[in-house]
Amino acid sequence: MNLQGMTLHERAAQLMFPRLGSNMPPPVRVSEDLDRFEKLLDACPVGGLILFNGAHPSTREALSRLQRNSRVPLLVASDIERGVGQQIRGATVFPHARAYAAAGSEELLESSARAQAREALASGIHITCSPVADVNRDPRNPIIATRAFGADPHEAARYVRAFIRGTRAEGLLTTAKHFPGHGNTSQDSHSEIPVVRADRDEMEAFDLLPFRAAIDEGVDLVMTAHVIYPALDPERPATLSPAILRDLLRDEMSFRGATITDSLLMGAIRNSHPDAGSQAAALVAAGVDILLDVPDPIAAVDGIVNAVDEGVLEEEIVDAAVARVLGLKKRLIDRFGGDIFGAPETLFDADPIGAASTRDLAHRVAYSALDVVGGSGGVLPLKEKGEDILGVLIKPHTTRLDPEEEPFGEAFRRAFPGARYRQVGPEATEAELGDIRSLAESSRIVVLALVVKPAAWHAFGLLPEQHHLAAELVARHRTIVVALGSPVVLDDYPAAALRLCAYSDVEVSQEAVVAFLRGT
């Protein structure tokens, strides 16, 4: 693969990574989106894609079909911070990044990264959009929170290195995000454009440190933040800033890999220009190599070509970006051979996707992360029959991809067959809340599990009526409060008999909490 013989249109198309499948409403499965994407390939030979909402093994089969029909091998990226199971049902889901810091084990993280990389490569995925290298400096951050390794920059840097070591050992390409740091924000860039007002010295001491560590460790890509940093560029978000992407990242920090935008469907960047073409040209001029989740790749390609023809964008800048994208493809072929883009199942003696040993590893991480952060104790272990126990799980928002009942419910009933259990969602009725209050009156112990986690386009924390219910239960009854996500929520209930944090709401974390309550 080289630039020779490729037209400017074909070269510009290599920078486009539209989505295949979707988790956004209405959700679209990979298998349902295949025909649309094949038509796009005929019209625009894109360089890769970002994958959402798949299932094993149909997703691997779909990707192999696309690879056969593509003129140039497709780089497949996916947002799999919590493992391949985050996007492909049947693969393993691991706890959030913060759980690894709570477990205090770089070795566990490196082993998890290797296992995740094997599952990704066997699925046909080449790029993980992780690790999150942000330092979660604002405890109420609505979109980073437990996705980051923590609030200490040196600790975050150590875990960023461990993750990259693990993935690189297996050959998966890694992406440090969200440069130059999204952890010191109180706004969600999915819906609005945040501003970080820290000065340069402060950013150097905190936000930039994990990214420097990632670059030293050989990270393959760096993802930009749709955030404004007045100390670095007073006018433009990092995604559109030459001062940040060229002067800082490339010249000062000596990054030689590929730069990739965060999703271009996000509110903070979506309307930055009057049309997709002018936006694409501005992004490449700023120093972007890959346009991720681009909504209109054909218009974006035309915009880049027109900008070159009009002398607004130098063709050498486009070629340098394309060379970095092709370099990623060459790196994979040099290590794995051509099958990496067409027959990924042949890379392994046995299919690693969903292996029992990998799920056991995820369970070990989840249990090791459990942290008792407050309370007088003396309430554990809970009695096995559990006739006098009430379990309540509260979650402030749901998606169409969520199960009707969280895994906590089944695990709780299995562990305590005599207990009562209720789940409270965002649309709970007054009658349902009243039922919980009534059940609590006849219970010796209330176990209150709260799902408070970062989620795109959703407010951070419990809904007011949910918080009112939780506060009432803690005030009136002997209550164990469990944070299935951010520990910040536990600060609202200091009178709880016990406060426990899992730092994640994934299935293995929910199961680990129940095992801990039972003392097993």
Do both 65 and 101 map to the same domain? yes
State the pLDDT at residue 191.
Answer: 58
**Cis peptide preceding 178, ω within 30 of 0:** yes
State the pLDDT at residue 190.
Answer: 59
Q: CATH code at 240? A: 3.20.20.300
Q: Are 389 and 416 in contact (CB under 8 A)?
A: yes
Do both 332 and 389 map to the same domain? no
Give the C-alpha separation, 185 to 150, whole Å: 14
Do both 462 and 495 map to the same domain? yes
- Torsion angle, alpha carbons of 328, 332, 338, 343, to 10: -110
**Which of 315, 347, 379 is the last residue before a domain boundary?**
347
The answer to whether position 56 is within a domain reads: yes
Q: What is the 3-state secondary structure (H, E, C) of 198-239?
A: CCHHHHHHCCHHHHHHHHHCCCCEEEECCCEECCCEEEEEHH
Give the C-alpha separation, 222 to 176, whole Å: 5
Backbone angles phi, psi at 228, to 5 degrees: -95, 135
Q: Are 322 and 14 in contact (CB under 8 A)?
A: yes
Q: Which residues of 315-333 are buried (b: 16+ CB within 10 A; e: fewer)?
A: bebbeebbbbbbebbebbe
**What is the chain's alpha carbon radius of gyration, rounded to the nearest angstrom?**
23
**Which of 347, 381, 408 is the last residue before a domain boundary?**
347
Q: How many CB atoms lie within 10 A of CB 72?
A: 20
Closest CA to 121 of 96, 162, 149, 88: 88
Can you tell me which residue has the tokens 């559109």?
A: 240
**Alpha helix (H) ranges present in 14-131?**
30-43, 58-69, 97-103, 106-123
Give the C-alpha separation, 160 to 130, whole Å: 9
The answer to whether position 18 is within a domain reads: no
Do both 76 and 183 map to the same domain? yes
Domain count, the chain: 2
| Annotation says 262 is catalytic | yes
The answer to whether position 11 is within a domain reads: no
State the pLDDT at residue 189.
Answer: 58
**Which of 332, 347, 362 is the last residue before a domain boundary?**
347
State the pLDDT at residue 458.
Answer: 55
The answer to whether position 178 is within a domain reads: yes
**How do 371-375 and 498-501 pair as beta strands?**
antiparallel
Which stretches in the chain have pLDDT values below 70? 1-2, 187-192, 376-377, 455-460
Closest CA to 83 of 49, 55, 108, 118: 118
3-state secondary structure at position 164: helix
Do both 269 and 384 map to the same domain? no
Do both 304 and 427 map to the same domain? no
Positive or negative torsion for Cα 75, 79, 83, 89: negative
The answer to whether position 185 is within a domain reads: yes
The answer to whether position 227 is within a domain reads: yes
Read off the tokens for 509.
């974390």
What is the model's pTM? 0.95
First-to-final CA distance of the chain:
55
| Annotation says 273 is catalytic | no
Do both 154 and 271 map to the same domain? yes
Given 262, 289, 293, 302, the catalytic residue: 262
Residues spanned by the domain of 36: 24-347
Do both 313 and 405 map to the same domain? no
Q: CATH code at 404? A: 3.40.50.1700
Do both 318 and 399 map to the same domain? no
Do both 190 and 147 map to the same domain? yes
Given 56, 96, 190, 363, the catalytic residue: 190
Do both 237 and 138 map to the same domain? yes
Give the C-alpha separation, 218 to 277, whole Å: 32
Do both 94 and 196 map to the same domain? yes
Q: How many CB atoms lie within 10 A of CB 291?
A: 28
The answer to whether position 2 is within a domain reads: no
C-alpha triplet 152, 168, 58: angle, nearest 5°: 110
The answer to whether position 16 is within a domain reads: no
